């Protein structure tokens, strides 16, 4: 009877074991479904569109596996593609130069103002990205103080202008993505144990050496995270070039927008989007491999 009971219990347990095995997948299901619907399907769609050609009627396309779409896209938009990475690189570099002292000051020197300063860094996010860029159009424009000062100081002539220049585009990019650089930097600087710096001093390192040999290496995770968070969106941005630039400062985002909405060339737009994605992916992988990601915030 006892064996019968035992058999009965094992019989009952069997299905519950498979249930247990499946449980993690069930728990993962929402995430997996999300990824399939909002990542895999669109990516598949994008890849599929990128090799199509114009069908009958504007905006209709047929699948012809025309891989030369990619070559066409690169040859016709090489200038904008290169410019995007140039501008993104410059904006990232400037953002780092501005953010590092800022984050350092907030982390170590701000005292009771720390929270206020952090709120101030995040404050621009309370206003739309688009509005802030339009505001820059006015700040740098004819009626803005910057131009008036430059003319007063005879640095710029009456015909000179700041908007519709590469300078304005890079400045806009730097400004718009600055918090993405500052916050990770702050997070990793703030975590540094102050005693490390003291120890460095005890070992006769001067302030500069301490900064170079202790602070910078320990803040590297923040630098890597910040540069990634700035560079990736900056390379694909088109708002700054559209509002603050001129026809000679258009970036790859503008080309994709024009191909998609103005020329109605979906395959060309899809091919360029993929090229942009893959290029960023390669650059980021090479960068991360060099910099390391073990302690990424």
Partner 1 sequence: MAIEFSRRDLIKAVGGLSAASLLGLSGEGIANAASSQQTVRFANWSLYLDYDNKTKRYPTLVDFTKKTGIPVKYMEVVDDNDTFTAKVTPQLRLKKDIGYDIVVLTEWMASRWITGGYVTKFDDAKVPNRKNVLPFLLNRPLDPGRHYSLPWAGVIAGFAWNNKHNPKGIHTMEQLFAPANKGKVEVLSEMRDTIGLILMWQGVDITKPFSQDKFMNAIDYMQKMIHDGFIRQVKGQSYQEDLISGDATAVIGWSGDINQLNAQNSNQFGFAIPDSGGTFSTDNMMIPAHSPNKINAEAVINYYYDPVVAARVANYINYVCPVAGAQQAMAKINPAQVKNKLIFPDAAMWKKLHVFRELSQSEQISFATAFQKASGNA
Residues near partner 1, by CB under 8 A: 54, 57-59, 76-77, 80, 138, 141-143, 159, 161, 163-164, 246-250, 254-255, 257-265
List C-alpha distances in Å: 73 to 11, 89, 108, 174.
63, 22, 49, 28
Q: How many CB atoms lie within 10 A of CB 53?
A: 13
Residue among 12 and 262 whose Cβ is closer to partner 1: 262
The dihedral region occupied by 30, where left means phi > 0, alpha psi between -120 and 50, and beta the remainder, is: alpha
Provide the minimum distance between the beta carbon of 153 and partner 1 in the complex, in angstroms, as a whole number: 19
Provide the minimum distance between the beta carbon of 164 and partner 1 in the complex, in angstroms, as a whole number: 5
Residues 6+ apart with CB under 8 A from 167: none
Residue among 16 and 143 whose Cβ is closer to partner 1: 143
Residue among 78 and 213 whose Cβ is closer to partner 1: 78
Provide the minimum distance between the beta carbon of 221 and partner 1 in the complex, in angstroms, as a whole number: 35
Residue among 144 and 201 whose Cβ is closer to partner 1: 144
Provide the minimum distance between the beta carbon of 33 and partner 1 in the complex, in angstroms, as a whole number: 15
Q: How many whole angstroms separate alpha carbon 191 and alpha carbon 222?
A: 10
Residue 175: closest CA among 108, 114, 124, 243: 124
Q: How many whole angstroms separate alpha carbon 11 and alpha carbon 243?
A: 70
Provide the minimum distance between the beta carbon of 237 and partner 1 in the complex, in angstroms, as a whole number: 15
Residue among 262 and 294 whose Cβ is closer to partner 1: 262
Q: Which structure tokens are listed for 50? A: 């990128």
Provide the minimum distance between the beta carbon of 265 and partner 1 in the complex, in angstroms, as a whole number: 7
Residue among 248 and 292 whose Cβ is closer to partner 1: 248
Residue among 225 and 251 whose Cβ is closer to partner 1: 251
Q: Which structure tokens are listed for 59? A: 């905006």
List C-alpha distances in Å: 231 to 84, 92, 128, 217, 237.
10, 6, 20, 21, 10
- Say how many CA atoms lie within 13 Å of 191 toward its Cβ: 15
Provide the minimum distance between the beta carbon of 160 and partner 1 in the complex, in angstroms, as a whole number: 8
Residue among 197 and 259 whose Cβ is closer to partner 1: 259
Provide the minimum distance between the beta carbon of 6 and partner 1 in the complex, in angstroms, as a whole number: 50
Question: How far, in whole angstroms, is CA 36 from its chain's centroid?
Answer: 23
- Maximum distance among all alpha carbons in the chain? 105
List C-alpha distances in Å: 65 to 43, 54, 142.
16, 12, 50
């Amino acid at each position: 009877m006892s064996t019968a009971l035992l058999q009965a219990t094992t019989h009952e347990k069997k299905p519950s074991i498979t249930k247990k095995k499946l449980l993690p997948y069930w728990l993962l299901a929402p995430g997996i479904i999300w990824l399939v619907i909002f990542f895999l399907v669109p990516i598949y769609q994008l890849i599929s569109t990128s090799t199509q050609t114009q069908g009958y009627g504007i905006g209709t396309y047929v699948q012809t596996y025309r891989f030369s779409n990619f070559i066409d896209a690169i040859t016709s938009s090489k200038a904008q593609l290169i410019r995007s990475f140039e501008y993104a690189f410059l904006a990232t570099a400037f953002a780092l130069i501005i953010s590092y002292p800022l984050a350092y000051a907030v982390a170590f020197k701000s005292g009771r103002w720390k929270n206020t300063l952090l709120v101030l860094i995040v404050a621009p996010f309370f206003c739309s990205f688009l509005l802030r860029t339009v505001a820059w159009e006015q700040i740098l424009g004819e009626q803005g103080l910057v131009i008036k000062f430059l003319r007063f100081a005879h640095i710029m002539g009456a015909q000179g202008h700041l908007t519709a220049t590469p300078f304005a585009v890079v400045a806009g990019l730097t400004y718009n993505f600055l918090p993405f650089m500052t916050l990770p930097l702050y997070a990793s600087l703030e975590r540094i144990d102050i005693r490390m710096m003291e120890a460095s001093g005890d070992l006769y390192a001067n302030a500069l050496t301490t900064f170079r040999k202790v602070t910078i290496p320990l803040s590297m995770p923040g630098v890597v995270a910040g540069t990634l968070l700035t560079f990736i969106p900056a390379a694909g941005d088109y708002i700054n070039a559209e509002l603050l630039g001129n026809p000679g400062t258009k970036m790859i985002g503008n080309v994709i927008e024009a191909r998609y909405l103005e020329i109605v060339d979906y395959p060309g737009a899809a091919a360029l989007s993929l090229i942009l994605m893959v290029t960023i992916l390669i650059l980021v992988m090479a960068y991360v491999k060099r910099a390391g990601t073990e302690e990424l915030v």
